[in-house]
Amino acid sequence: MTEKVAVVGGGIAGVGAAWSLHRAGYEVELFEKGPALGGNAKTFRWTVGDGHADSPLLVVAWPQMYYHNYESLLDELGVGIETLPISYFVQTPDGHFCQDGQTAVQQRFAPEFRRWRKLVAFVTKVNDVFLPKNKHDSMYHFSYFNPMNLIPLYWLARLFGISSAFWDTIFVPIHCASFITTSMRSVPAVILPLLESIVPLEEPTQMGTWEGAPRQVFDRMTAPFADKVHTDHEITSVKRRNGHFVIGDAQGRTYEADRVVFACDATSVLNAIESPSWLQRLLFGNAQYVDDVDPTFARFVVHSDTSIFPEKHRERILSDFNTYSEIDEVGALECTFVISAQNPSIKDKGVPMLVTFNSKKAIGKVQKRIELPHPTHTMSLRNLLIMSMMRFLQGKDGMHYCGTFTTPEGGHDLSFMSGLVAAHEIGAPYPFSQDNPSAVADFNQMQRIMLKSGTRRLL
């Protein structure tokens, strides 16, 4: 008899797991708390004249050289990819910085930029000693023995003569949009070369984005089992009864399944499962999310009010920059994604499409204010420990887990792969051709991160 699998959470991890399981012949039922699939990869519909235009809102781009499995998915679904120039504009009380080597702020920090380059070269050398050479096009391979895993980047930078003013004025405003937090002092030094290869501090870069909005990805993935996708279903209880699971939602509806894949946040898992074990309590009760440490990215305003940008640079910001960060006198940071400068399909619609986090000013032309509980988990030693212990729970009593708290950092490719690994552990084959060695190596590495050696089926 076909096994029935319930998947809780309709972000890329849950939809990835359900998609892979359905292809492999499993009966899947997918439950999403919100009104649409996508999780953080939200699609927003803007009013444009008499019509509308869809755009991504939060998850906007990815480093193409590393997202091997996610790009295989888009290829399989026939979703086009565009290349997007990525550049940052930082406004400080003392002037602005925009990666062009020209501004007064950049001149002021010139000696520290030189030290920064030395620091990057140093960490790269150390990492090279520990990392196999053939793993350099992967974000996910690391050595447990590399001392750079334990040394915070901030403190190493200070040792190299880099000031905390440089950290707060240059590093944090540029990288807060990647880490979704301004609290980055515990980020380990090991990731510096990776960061520089994705978002170099001193020059603009390029990333991939969808031709269109992310909704099409979720629609195409779920089209073959659309009747089994339940949005507006918040799962509040998961109970084991006579060898089956009985899954209940906030409105009292119940469903049955043989296995459950949790692809939601750790708090929701802990609240839903009946009589959690001590290990489940320990791991799900302690996972740390960015809003636990820093509320900067916990709520945002979707709007078209360009008066939030300094008048002198307004036109340029609107056309050339993807991210605008503004630091005030007390060091608080407001961050705006300039969506209409990013996505080629909406660039010329004539409507400024802006998403402002931690807004400090009165914003007009508001389309929507959104709270984002548990946007993603933080890269902390505590979370890395939780992640590495999750292997002792994976698959136990028919319950599987994927999504951000099972991965080393927040990232669309990581979450997608975690869903594939959960599906693979249940029995679904790897869904792509094995001709792409980088994608296969990443998937195998994800299995090593998530599963006990006895349950891994490396390709």
Ligand X SMILES: Cc1cc2nc3c(=O)[nH]c(=O)nc-3n(C[C@H](O)[C@H](O)[C@H](O)COP(=O)(O)OP(=O)(O)OC[C@H]3O[C@@H](n4cnc5c(N)ncnc54)[C@H](O)[C@@H]3O)c2cc1C
Among 69, 268, 325, 342, binds ligand X (CB under 6 A): 268
Smallest distance, ligand X to C-beta of residue 169, A = 22
41 binds ligand X (CB under 6 A): yes
Residues 136-195 that bind ligand X (CB under 6 A): 180
Inter-CA distances, 314 with 47, 187, 203, 352, 358, Å: 22, 33, 20, 11, 19
Measured distance CA(114)–CA(315) in Å, rounded: 31
Among 325, 412, 425, 449, binds ligand X (CB under 6 A): 412
Phi-psi category of 260—alpha, beta or left, where left has phi over 0 and alpha has psi -120 to 50?
beta
Residue placing its CB nearer to ligand X in the complex, 46 or 405: 405
Among 265, 291, 334, 442, binds ligand X (CB under 6 A): 265
Measured distance CA(299)–CA(324) in Å, rounded: 16
Residues 225-264 that bind ligand X (CB under 6 A): 234-235, 263-264
What is the biggest distance separating any 2 CA atoms in the chain, rounded to whole angstroms? Answer: 70
* DSSP state letters, 65-95: TT-HHHHHHHHHHT--EEEEEE-EEEEETTE
208 binds ligand X (CB under 6 A): no
x/- letters, 295..314, toward ligand X (CB under 6 A): --x-----------------
Measured distance CA(442)–CA(436) in Å, rounded: 10
x/- letters, 366..395, toward ligand X (CB under 6 A): ---------xx-------------------
Please state, as a whole number, how many other Cβ atoms lie within 10 Å of the Cβ of residue 125: 10
Residue placing its CB nearer to ligand X in the complex, 157 or 354: 354
Inter-CA distances, 173 with 72, 114, 162, 206, Å: 32, 19, 16, 18
Which region, judged by CB under 6 A, interacts with ligand X, from 28-36, 220-228, 303-311, 378-386? 28-36
Smallest distance, ligand X to C-beta of residue 33, A = 4
Helix (H) or strand (E) holding 293: helix 290-293
CA Rg value for the chain: 22
Judged on CB neighbours under 10 Å (0-12, 13-18, 19+), 435 is exposed
Residue placing its CB nearer to ligand X in the complex, 192 or 235: 235
**In terms of Cα–Cα distance, which of 150, 448, 149, 213 is closest to 346?**
213
Among 5, 7, 12, 283, binds ligand X (CB under 6 A): 12
Number of residues that bind ligand X (CB under 6 A): 36
Residue placing its CB nearer to ligand X in the complex, 31 or 116: 31
Which region, judged by CB under 6 A, interacts with ligand X, from 34-42, 144-152, 216-224, 280-288? 34-42
Residue placing its CB nearer to ligand X in the complex, 46 or 289: 289
221 binds ligand X (CB under 6 A): no
Residue placing its CB nearer to ligand X in the complex, 352 or 410: 410
Which residue type occupies 165? Answer: A
**In terms of Cα–Cα distance, which of 359, 354, 393, 357 is closest to 375?**
357
| Residues contributing to the site for ligand X (CB under 6 A) | 8-14, 31-34, 39-41, 58-62, 180, 234-235, 263-265, 268, 272, 297, 375-376, 403-404, 410-412, 415
